[in-house]
Amino acid sequence: MTIESPGRDVVAVQMLRGIAAMMVVFVHIDIQLERLRYGTLGTGWLSCGVDIFFVISGFIMWTSVERRGGMSGGAFLRNRLIRIVPLYWFVTTIVLVVGLAMPNVMATTKVELGHAFASYLFLPARHPVTGVFWPLLIPGWSLNYEMLFYVIFALALVIAPTSRAIRFWLIAGLLSAIVLVADLTKSRLDVMNFYASPMVFEFVAGILLGVLWRRGVIRRSPLWLAVLLGGFVLLWPGLGLGTAGTMVGATLIVAGAVFLPPLPHNPLSSLGDASYSLYLTHAITLRALAYLWEHLALSLGWAGFVITGVTAAVIVASLMYRFFEKPVTARLKRLSARPKDPVIAAPMPVAADRQS
């Protein structure tokens, strides 16, 4: 398996990560098409790829810890930081440097010291241009939720290292408490508007899928493909199901992938391997392409931009995965590994904002 794979027996989940990442790519392609005055494709709703990532994250965190056994809270959090921080900080620094040196290139980049620090520390802060809770690297907003989830998961491992049931209820209870307190205080404390999001319950949904999968109480079958497709139907905005429909749809999609029969590794699961790199780099790649498109007066039309944009985003992400993400993560894990601390397999968190 790769450094981030949930395992060969759930290759479909890795494939789903590739699909979810591409959903987010098309959200930002639409943004650039509008800036280039081509109009839009109406793909903004595909930002729900983030919801799919959150469910996958809950599933992989739970199954990875259960598969390895004996994972301490400290080891869990250390491995999560090793997995998430280097690439995020690297790409964030690129945005910071470009924002300082060529502020006109990145249309939504304005560097303010407090906001920049918050971006590096995974703390939600309102963007100085948009006023939305976005970091310097805009897709990184979802990592603020991921880090909250990781801290709570690690705390649950510390409190209940041997009891799966207590660990589960601790995670679910703490997330529920945070959302409730945030909802009650958001009018007085602005940052609570970020933490009041019910999206965090998608991590719990993923954990529940992990519990069912580990217990083997649900039979794997090709019929689960219908459940997966039904989940995508629920995501369609025309149904008007709102947040609840999105959360249920994302859960059904991941459930369908989890309980499909084992599949062989394939090009789509390879894209899933690089999905974290794709998620973090695609917005920069597409903005750079749009900048060149404008200044070189390319006349390939909107379809040419879409095809070129998808190709460029995948190539840049693949190179980033191959030459930075994979070797740096592996190296840091080797340096930090202790004999009694198993190394956890890692998922992708996370994703682009519905508002981006």
Given a cut of 60, is residue 177 above it in pLDDT?
A: yes
What are the tens digits of pLDDT across the range 273-315?
999 999 999 999 999 999 899 888 777 889 999 999 999 999 9
For the chain, domain boundaries: 8-336
Mean pLDDT of 32-52: 94
What are the tens digits of pLDDT across the range 209-238?
999 999 999 999 999 999 999 999 999 988
Mean pLDDT of 330-353: 61
What are the tens digits of pLDDT across the range 77-133?
999 999 999 999 999 999 999 888 887 776 666 789 999 999 999 999 999 988 999
Nearest to 206 by CA among 35, 33, 56: 56
pLDDT for 38: 92
Nearest to 251 by CA among 304, 308, 208: 208
Question: Amino acid identity of 6?
Answer: P
Least reliable range by pLDDT among 52-56, 225-229, 314-318, 350-354:
350-354
Read off the pLDDT band of 318 (50, 70, 90): very high
Given a cut of 70, is residue 351 above it in pLDDT?
A: no
DSSP 271-330: HHHTHHHHHHHHHHHHHHHHHHHHHTT---HHHHHHHHHHHHHHHHHHHHIIIIIHHHHH
Distance CA 197, CA 144 (A): 12
Mean pLDDT of 182-192: 97
Helix (H, G, I), strand (E, B), or coil: what is residue 216? coil
Read off the pLDDT band of 70 (50, 70, 90): confident
Given a cut of 70, is residue 9 above it in pLDDT?
A: no
Given a cut of 80, is residue 329 above it in pLDDT?
A: yes
Distance CA 111, CA 225 (A): 45
pLDDT for 88: 98
pTM (2 d.p.):
0.91
Least reliable range by pLDDT among 27-31, 241-245, 282-286, 296-300:
296-300
Nearest to 138 by CA among 118, 121, 119, 154: 119
- How much of the chain, in percent, has pLDDT values that exceed 70? 91
Mean pLDDT of the chain: 90
Burial 49-61 (b: 16+ CB within 10 A, else e): bbbbbbbbbbbbb
Query: What is the 8-class DSSP label of residue 345?
Result: P
**H helices present in the chain, as ranges:** 11-35, 49-68, 73-101, 113-120, 141-159, 164-185, 192-195, 201-215, 224-235, 242-258, 267-273, 275-295, 301-320, 326-336
Distance CA 280, CA 351 (A): 8
Q: Is the Cβ–Cβ distance between 48 and 36 less than 8 Å?
A: no
Cα→Cα distances 153→104, 171, 174, 207, Å: 41, 6, 10, 11
Handedness of CA 97, 98, 103, 106 (dihedral sign): negative
Least reliable range by pLDDT among 50-54, 83-87, 199-203, 242-246:
242-246
Distance CA 338, CA 74 (A): 11
pLDDT for 8: 55
